[in-house]
Amino acid sequence: MTTTPVAHRHPRTGGTLLYVSQQMTREVVELESHESEDLLDALFEHLYNPANLLEHEWRAGDLVVWDNLAVQHARPNVRADGPVRTLRKVFAPAPSPADHIAMPSFSKAG
C-alpha cells in the first residue's frame, strides 16, 4: 500500500490540487473511516457531476490541450476499427511534484 498526499501545490499557479481517484484512492488516512468515506464520496460526487464534465466530440484537425495536473481525465472505449488518433504529450519543466502542501494523505489499494 502506498500513501500519497491528497493536496499538492500547482508548480506554475501555486493553487491547491487535489489528488484523488476512484481507481486508486482507498481512504484519507488522517480521518476516521466514516469521515474518510464521507469526504471521498463528496469529492467524487462533485468530480462526476455532469456540470463539471466536458466530453469532446472529435473532428478531423481538432487539438485539445489541458493542464494534466489540474484536471482528471479519461477517455471512452476506443474502437479498434475506429479513426486513427495521434496523442502527444507536451510538458514544461516544473519543480518536483513532491513539493506539495502538507495536507491529509490517502492510501492506494495495492
Residue range 17-64, pLDDT digits in tens: 888 888 888 999 999 999 999 999 999 999 889 998 888 888 888 888
CB 108 within 8 A of CB 26: yes
The type of residue at 92 is A
Long-range contacts of 40-43 (CB under 8 A, 24+ apart): 43/18
Residues 6+ apart with CB under 8 A from 62: 56
Secondary structure (3-state) at 4: strand
- Model-level pTM? 0.65
In the chain, how many domains are there?
1
Q: What pLDDT, on the 0 to 100 scale, is given for residue 101?
A: 43
Domain span at residue 63 reads 1-110
Residue 105 has pLDDT above 70, yes or no: no
